[in-house]
Every structure is written in structure tokens, then in C-alpha cells.
Structure 1
């Protein structure tokens, strides 16, 4: 399972960076990596025992994006 997940993540990351660049969105490779790190943590939180600070998943992502792109 680890190999399949690793292959998927390694393939998806450059695709996400290319999409971001092609769409004219702010941020580069480092910002997309930080976004992935945040989302991976959010997924783990959502799938296990959440720390629940009262933010929905959408609100948490929105807040993170706003902060990382400032």
C-alpha cells in the first residue's frame, strides 16, 4: 500500500504545480508542497480523531490558502 500511495503522491505533485502555474494562480512549488502537507494533515485529522476547533474542512482549507498566499 505504501508503494502505491507513494507513486500516486509523486505523480500528483508535479501535476498540481503545473495546474497551478497554468491557471495563473499565485504560489510556486514550495507553496504547493506546503498546501499538500496541510491537506495531508487535515485528511488524517478528518479520518481519525479530529482535534475539532470548530472549522469545517472547507473553512480550514480556505483559511490556510489565505494565510499561505499572503
Structure 2
């Protein structure tokens, strides 16, 4: 994998340095931080299995009619 040189402000550097764990590169910090909000769709598989979908739909229809 190649590398790129970027310029960041001193403030941004300090924030990254605070997030950096021992033995972790700055590239790894950036990847870890930017991947936080991303979830694999399969993580949600089965999340609604304990809900009665028909009942939820019925209640929704009653609420909005």
C-alpha cells in the first residue's frame, strides 16, 4: 500500500495524538476513527425477530388514520 503526505493544523495533530494508542500509527488512528460510524448491514440481521411486525403495522395504521 502506498503512502500520501498531508498537511494538518497543529490543533488537528494534537487531537489525533490524543486518540493514538500505544503502538498505533497515525494511519491506523485515522482508519479507526473514520470507521467508527460504519456498520456492516449483517450486524442488524435478526434485530427485529422478537417483534410482532403485524402488530406494529396495525398500531401504526391506527395511529395515522
TM-score (normalizing by structure 2): 0.29
TM-score (normalizing by structure 1): 0.28
Larger Rg: 2
Q: Tell me: higher relative CO, structure 1 or 2? Use CA pairs within 8 A at least 6 residues apart.
A: 1
Q: Which has the larger helix fraction?
A: 1
